[in-house]
Amino acid sequence: MARLLNDIIAKGDTTALTRPVIAQDINDWMAETPEKSAWHVAVNNKEEVVGFQWIAPHCNLPPEAVDIATFVQIGQSGLGIGSALFDKTVKAAKNHGYVWINSTIRADNDGGLTYYQSRGFRDWHIDEAVILDSGQVVDKISKRYDL
């Protein structure tokens, strides 16, 4: 998962993450709120990770909402990986008692915006001129999906 995410971070322009991650970072994220979170991984026929998605509470969201993050291996978009992950994630969000899912996407991430729009997310908030850890300034669009 860390390798897949690091390839996306290195490519740039699609994630707000700007520094490489290690497996321990992902383990730490998973351990933050395990009873309120859900993680799903997509693997290919060689058992290699080709995508992953998680939901977790976020301090800027009400308790009935959960934040989502989705990452698909570079070159594998449009093959149904994100759709399969989202189907599992929606079920998990409902099982956890959430009412809606939030996705916050860089405004310059056309693929991410299209992905969440195609799932039925709608815009509900915009953060302008967000400074990333790299110093880059981007707008972020938050989209909402009602369960």
Q: What is the pTM for the complete model shown?
A: 0.92
Per-residue tokens: 25: 């970072």
Q: How confident is the model at residue 56, as a pLDDT?
A: 97
- The per-residue DSSP string of 62-83 comes to -TTEEEEEEEE-TT-TTSSHHH
40 beta partners: 53
Between the alpha carbon of residue 12 and those of residues 5, 18, 55, the distances in Å are 11, 8, 22
Tally of domains in the chain:
1
Determine the Cα–Cα distance for residues 28 and 35; give it in Å rounded to an integer: 14
Tens of pLDDT, residue by residue over 109-122, are: 898 999 999 999 99
Domain enclosing residue 66, as ranges = 2-146
What CATH number does residue 125 fall under?
3.40.630.30
